[in-house]
Amino acid sequence: MDLTADGIKELVSRPTTPHRVTSIYLNTDGARFPRPADYEARLDALLKDAQASVIDLHGTARDGVEADAAAIRRYVTTSFDRSGVKGLAIFSSGGEIFETLVTAEPFRNVQKVSDHPYVVPLQAMLGRHHHIGLAVIERDNARLFRYRLGRIVEYTEMESDVRGQHSAGGWSQARFARNVENDLMHHFKDAAEAFLRVHEDDPFDALVLAGTTTEVEAFRKQLHPYLEEVVHGDVVPMSHQVSKDAVHEALDNAEQELVSSRRKALLEKLAAGDGQGVKVARGLRHVIEACNERRVETLFVVEGAGQEGFRSATGMLTQHEADAKAYGEPVEPVDDLIDEVIEQSVLAGARIELFRDSSRLDGQPVAAVLRF
């Protein structure tokens, strides 16, 4: 699968079966785990914890998790190629691996057994990354780099036969200069059209322009409005012979700016609250109520926050068993209400923003901006 909002939604939408789903997130970063045996040892510990979590279950559910453990261990030790991979996510049910994901960024080692795939680590990673393009523009060359989830790929490079300077004077020089400018315009136009096709196939969240200010501004005049609206920041001084480290630095800086800007805007909207006509929910009880009503537009969650609760026969989530019974029996316990709220919000098309501590949420584990 691809790590996208749609990909996560599709994963969460997977129909439930009599078997539980075993979700494994494994850090395979070679800098931290030089030998396969190093991360395989962590995997064994995760799988033992997963099996221990269903030790009190019987029949299909328990047997399925044991089969998952065997399938996952077999996949990692015999089929997994970690070349260029720092993070691996595996989802299995009934002994069948139904989805895997590899990333150029490491995951924290986590296991979870539940009715649905555990997607919180995916949401956390998605929230820290954007799909960014870097266009390096020169009068006779144009390069386009893609940056997503810590991985840089050069998508295309274009060369032009734009002529150099001419030393003759008079009308000859003027005509030559006009021809050069015409060639330059066509070069920038061809590059802009090529970049637009890339954007239409897989849209950028942002496009960073690099080169000399004069040439980049001339190129920018040829950009389609679809690309123009995602241009980010100032022109980055750079030549087409730029090093990989310099490309990574420029893209990493752009990504940090995008994340900070997005979160600032969303937190300002949350802080505005009812005083600005924006409906919000703060605290687990109020967020659960909004989730049950499918009203969550943006969900703010502190990573690692969790609380047990209940689900009614009608699917309503509550903190207390008596409240769940009022919605309809039978009632089933829920290991982590916040995970359930995240999953339900994803299915309802909400944006998820995860934070490492509760300081930005006034000490609450969750908050939300509501649709209506």
Give the SS3 label for residue 346. helix
> Are β-strands 21-27 and 280-282 bridged in parallel, bridged antiparallel, or unpaired?
unpaired
| Residue 86 DSSP label | -
189-231: per-residue pLDDT in tens?
A: 888 998 999 899 889 999 999 999 889 999 999 999 999 999 9
Distances (CA, A) of 277 to 226, 299, 337, 372: 31, 18, 28, 10
The CA distance from 254 to 65, in Å, is 42
Residue 25's closest CA among 152, 150, 113?
Answer: 113
Tell me the pTM. Answer: 0.73
> Are β-strands 280-282 and 309-311 bridged in parallel, bridged antiparallel, or unpaired?
unpaired
pLDDT of residue 283: 92
Give the SS3 label for residue 84. coil
Residue 211's closest CA among 134, 317, 293?
Answer: 134
Residue 11's closest CA among 346, 354, 296, 302?
Answer: 346
Strand partners, 351: 298
Structure tokens at 55: 């030790």
Amino acid 88 reads L
Using an 8 Å Cβ cutoff, are 134 and 247 in contact? yes
Distances (CA, A) of 79 to 2, 65, 76, 103, 107: 19, 20, 6, 16, 19
Place of tokens 């810590």: 150
The CA distance from 249 to 287, in Å, is 38
The CA distance from 227 to 305, in Å, is 39
Angle in degrees, 0-180, between the axes of helices 5-12 and 120-127, rounded to the nearest 10: 170
Question: Any residues with CB less than 8 A from the CB of 352 and at least 6 apart, and which?
Answer: 123, 127, 298, 299, 301, 342, 345, 346
Using an 8 Å Cβ cutoff, are 207 and 231 in contact? yes
Give the SS3 label for residue 111. strand
The CA distance from 171 to 86, in Å, is 61
Phi-psi region of 9 (alpha: psi -120 to 50; beta: other; left: phi over 0): alpha
pLDDT per residue, tens digit, the chain (372 aa), is 888 888 999 999 999 888 999 999 999 999 999 999 999 999 999 999 999 998 887 788 889 999 999 999 999 999 999 988 999 999 999 999 999 999 988 998 999 998 889 998 998 888 888 899 999 998 778 889 989 888 888 876 555 554 444 444 444 444 434 444 676 788 888 889 989 998 998 899 999 999 998 899 999 999 999 999 999 999 999 987 888 889 999 999 999 999 999 999 999 999 888 666 679 999 999 999 999 999 999 999 988 777 899 999 999 999 999 999 999 999 999 888 988 898 888 888 888 898 888 888 888 999 999 998
The CA distance from 52 to 322, in Å, is 29
Within 242-354, residue ranges assigned H as helices are 244-272, 284-292, 321-327, 337-347
Residue 205's closest CA among 148, 265, 136?
Answer: 148
